[in-house]
């Protein structure tokens, strides 16, 4: 018997009436839709549980059987059904970062519980893929074989190989770093809900990071998701582990790795790309600026943002155009970076830039359409997504309008002249993917956030910035007083607000912790 959520098809259709407010879009509704999209790409025996789409159910029930493991679960990558390591970990990482940074926004918009359950669906799968401290499986399904199939995942019952593994003989520092960061962030988001589960996530994150650090190298791929660097992923992982553990080795690693150039020889401090499944340099640089306050990281952020805002190719309709394949994922990635930095600086031009790109996505564009399916009054009717399409390759039926509404999916987007071709076979325009929506969720949460700029992430007594004051902060305070070169959150360490960090703050922190217990 199918297990379904309480949302009926009738109610789902009712969700798609979206009002506009005084020239602004209903961002809260768009945020809700963008999160619901992930239900369409769920995989495994529980894919139909707590799922808004009544056309999705359990699938791929034997994943991992070829290696003697249960590797069911997780998410299909895009319009196909492969579970690729890099974009899976990227989506989990960025969504978790959004939750960590904008928790109040998700609570206020009624999207918190849904996003939290989505994040746990990711982490449950990632933990399955790490059966022991020296092993991690990072791809299930063969891309070539999978792409030869067009139909619902529930009917794709053939053999799906477990393609690649990272272990002592097979490096995959990029996937391991990204996954480590995702699980550390899950620890931060889940520690007050289930301490045992979150501790499991954190231990796995530490182990995966050490695997990637101690056996450096690229993951294996066939023709999909070829990584250009693993240093950025390791740096991203190390920064979050430093925030949790306060171990200076993590910070030293992060600062060393983030300066290593990618295969293209790009200078990370003068970087023109943006946050995506293959590039975490800029979010890592942002975290290092938050942690250390160093000018080199601030200058690197401002170089990148200035390039995007003032020099990057722009379509006649105002979209920043980095690459033709999934152009909107890049615009959303950069917009999320602009918004997190806006909260540090209060520079309104950053928020205006992000809003212009988001509004383009939601309908303020020459095509007068929304690139988020189900939002507004007009959207893509031919998304490149097998489950939503509902047909097969027979007689070219897959080129028909999709049978099912793929609510909340961000499609690839237009060309450099703002032209959009709504053709299921031209997937640079119409494909959807779990990594596309990750940035969109972050931008929508960021644009809805009303926290005063400059007050970001500061909790008095929280010296390592992990949003909790505990004995680790007490240890850091003592170490800082012995060595003022130690990196801590300065505002948080000044407990009495006298602009000086000294033994009085140490005493006040001790009292705070004693009173809390």
Contact yes or no for 383/389 (Cβ under 8 A): yes
State mean pLDDT over 327-332.
98
The per-residue pLDDT for 5 is 38
26 is a catalytic site residue? no
266 included as an active-site residue: no
* Alpha-carbon gap, residue 181 to 496, rounded angstroms: 33
Catalytic: 167?
Answer: no
From residue 485, alpha-carbon distances to 286, 378, 453, 460, 463 in Å are 20, 56, 26, 20, 14
Q: Which two structure tokens, joined as six digits, stand for 265?
A: 């020889």
Neighbour tally for 64: CB within 10 Å: 19
Q: What angle do CA 375, 123, 139 make, to 5 degrees?
A: 90
Q: Which of 245, 422, 456, 494 is catalytic?
A: 422
**Average pLDDT score over the chain:** 92
Of the residues 81, 384, 385, 404, which is catalytic? 384
Which residue has better confidence, 31 or 513? 31
What is the per-residue pLDDT for 32? 98
CB atoms within 10 A of CB 11: 11
User: Is residue 20 scored above 50 in pLDDT?
Assistant: no
Give residue 8's pLDDT. Answer: 39
Q: Could you tell me what percent of the chain has a pLDDT over 70?
A: 93
pLDDT band at residue 199 using 50, 70 and 90 as cut-offs = very high
Residue 18 confidence (pLDDT):
43
Per the listing, tokens 């070539």 go with 144
DSSP helix/strand/coil, 454 = coil
Which region among 43-52, 250-259, 473-482 has the lowest average model confidence (pLDDT)?
473-482
163-167, 264-268, 415-419, 468-472: least confident range: 468-472
- Residues 73-83: what's their mean pLDDT? 98
Helix (H, G, I), strand (E, B) or coil at 165: strand
Distances (CA, A) of 143 to 147, 162, 165: 6, 11, 16
Catalytic residue (choose from 431, 435, 449, 473): 431
CA 301 distance to own-chain centroid: 19
**Sheet with 162-166, edge to edge strand ranges:** 83-84, 136-140, 162-166
The DSSP code sequence of 108-153 is HTT-HHHHHHHHHHHHHHHHHT--BTTBEEEEES-HHHHHT--S-G
Spatial neighbors of 309 by CB under 8 A, at least 6 apart, are 338, 349, 353
Separation between Cα atoms, residue 346 and residue 361, nearest integer Å: 24
Predicted confidence at residue 474, as pLDDT, reads 84
pLDDT of residue 476: 79
Is the Cβ–Cβ distance between 134 and 167 less than 8 Å? yes
The 10s digit of each residue's pLDDT in 174-183 is 999 999 999 9
DSSP run (H or E) holding 84: strand 83-84
The pLDDT assigned to 507 comes to 78
Q: What is the pLDDT of residue 240?
A: 97
Q: How far apart are CA 224 and CA 79, in angstroms?
A: 14
pLDDT at position 488 is: 80
- What would the pLDDT profile of 284-311 be if each residue is shown by its tens digit? 999 999 988 899 999 999 999 999 999 9
pLDDT at residue number 124: 98
Asked whether 115 and 106 are in contact (CB, 8 A), the reply is: yes
Q: How far apart are CA 259 and CA 251, in angstroms?
A: 13
Average pLDDT over residues 48-69: 98
pLDDT at residue 316 greater than cutoff 90: yes
The percentage of the chain sitting over the pLDDT mark of 90, rounded to a whole number, equals 80
Residue 420 is predicted with a pLDDT of 98
Q: What are phi and psi of 192, to 5 degrees?
A: -85, -10
pLDDT per residue as tens digits for the range 417-462: 999 999 999 999 999 999 999 999 999 999 999 877 765 567 778 8
Task: Encode pLDDT of 463-513 as tens digits.
Answer: 887 778 888 888 878 888 887 677 787 778 877 665 678 876 887 688 777
What does the alpha-carbon distance between residue 181 and residue 448 come to, in Å, rounded to a whole number? 25
> Closest Cα partner for 178 from 133, 120, 229, 252?
229
Q: Which of 80, 462, 473, 505 is catalytic?
A: 80
Which pLDDT score, from 0 to 100, does residue 3 have?
Answer: 39
| Three-state DSSP class for residue 478 | helix
Catalytic, 108? Answer no
For the cut 50, the answer to whether the pLDDT of residue 251 exceeds it is: yes
pLDDT score of 263: 96
Q: Say what the pLDDT of residue 486 is.
A: 75
Q: What is the pLDDT of residue 515?
A: 73
> What sign does the CA torsion over 31, 99, 340, 436 have?
negative
Note the pLDDT tens digit of each residue in 372-397.
999 999 999 999 999 999 999 999 99
Q: Is 266 helix (H, G, I), strand (E, B) or coil?
A: coil
What is the per-residue pLDDT across 97-153, written as a single tens digit (0 to 9) for each?
Answer: 999 999 999 999 999 999 999 999 999 999 999 999 999 999 999 999 999 999 999
Which of the four pLDDT bands, split at 50, 70 and 90, describes residue 10? very low
Residues 6+ apart with CB under 8 A from 200: 127
Q: Residue ranges of the domains in the chain?
A: 9-448, 471-516
- Of 3.50.50.60, 2.60.40.10, 1.10.10.10, 1.50.10.10, the CATH number of 9-448 is 1.50.10.10
Residue 117: its pLDDT value, please? 98
């Amino acid at each position: 018997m199918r297990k379904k959520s309480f949302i009926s098809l009738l109610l789902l259709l009712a969700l798609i009436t979206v009002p506009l407010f005084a020239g602004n879009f209903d961002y809260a509704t768009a945020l809700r839709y963008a999160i619901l999209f992930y239900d369409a790409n769920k995989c495994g025996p529980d894919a139909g549980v707590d799922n808004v789409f009544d056309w999705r159910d359990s699938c791929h029930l034997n994943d991992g059987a070829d290696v003697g493991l249960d590797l069911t679960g997780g998410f299909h990558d895009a319009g196909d059904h492969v579970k690729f390591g890099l974009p899976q970990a990227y989506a989990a990482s960025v969504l978790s970062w959004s939750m960590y940074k904008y928790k109040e926004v998700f609570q206020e918009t009624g999207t918190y519980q849904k996003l939290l359950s989505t994040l746990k669906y990711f982490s449950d799968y990632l933990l399955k893929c790490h059966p022991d401290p020296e092993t991690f499986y990072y791809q299930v399904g063969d891309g070539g074989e999978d792409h030869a199939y067009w139909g619902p995942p529930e009917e794709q019952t053939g053999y799906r190989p477990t393609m690649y593994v990272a272990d002592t003989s097979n490096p995959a520092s990029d996937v391991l770093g990204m996954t480590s960061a995702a699980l550390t962030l899950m620890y931060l988001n889940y520690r007050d809900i289930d301490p045992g589960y979150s501790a499991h996530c954190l231990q796995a994150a530490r182990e995966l990071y050490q695997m990637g650090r101690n056996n450096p190298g690229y993951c294996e791929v066939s023709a999909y998701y070829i990584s250009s660097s693993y240093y950025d992923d390791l740096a991203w992982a190390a920064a979050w582990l430093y925030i949790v553990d306060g171990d200076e080795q993590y910070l030293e690693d992060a600062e060393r790795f983030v300066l290593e150039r990618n295969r293209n020889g790009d200078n990370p401090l003068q970087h023109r790309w943006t946050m995506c499944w293959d590039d975490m340099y800029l979010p890592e640089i942002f975290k290092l600026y938050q942690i250390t306050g160093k000018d080199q990281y601030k200058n690197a952020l401002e170089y990148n943002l200035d390039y995007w805002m003032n020099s990057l190719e722009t379509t006649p309709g105002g979209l920043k155009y980095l690459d033709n394949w999934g152009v909107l994922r890049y615009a959303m990635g950069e917009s999320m970076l602009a918004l997190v930095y806006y909260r540090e600086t209060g520079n309104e031009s950053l928020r205006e830039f992000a809003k212009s790109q988001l509004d383009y996505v939601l309908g303020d564009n020459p095509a007068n359409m929304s690139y988020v399916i189900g939002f507004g009054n007009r959207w893509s009717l031919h998304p490149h997504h097998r489950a939503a399409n509902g047909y097969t390759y027979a007689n070219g039926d897959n080129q028909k309008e999709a049978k099912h509404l793929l609510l909340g999916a961000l499609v690839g987007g237009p060309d450099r002249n703002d032209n959009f071709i709504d053709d299921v076979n031209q997937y640079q325009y119409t494909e959807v993917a779990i990594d596309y929506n990750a940035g969109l969720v972050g931008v929508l949460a960021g644009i809805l956030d009303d926290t005063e700029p400059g007050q970001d992430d500061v909790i008095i007594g929280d010296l390592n910035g992990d949003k909790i004051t505990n004995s680790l902060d007490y240890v850091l305070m003592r170490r800082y007083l012995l060595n003022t070169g130690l990196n801590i959150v300065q505002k948080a360490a000044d407990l009495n607000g006298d602009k000086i960090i000294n033994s009085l703050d140490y005493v006040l922190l001790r009292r705070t912790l004693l009173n809390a217990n």
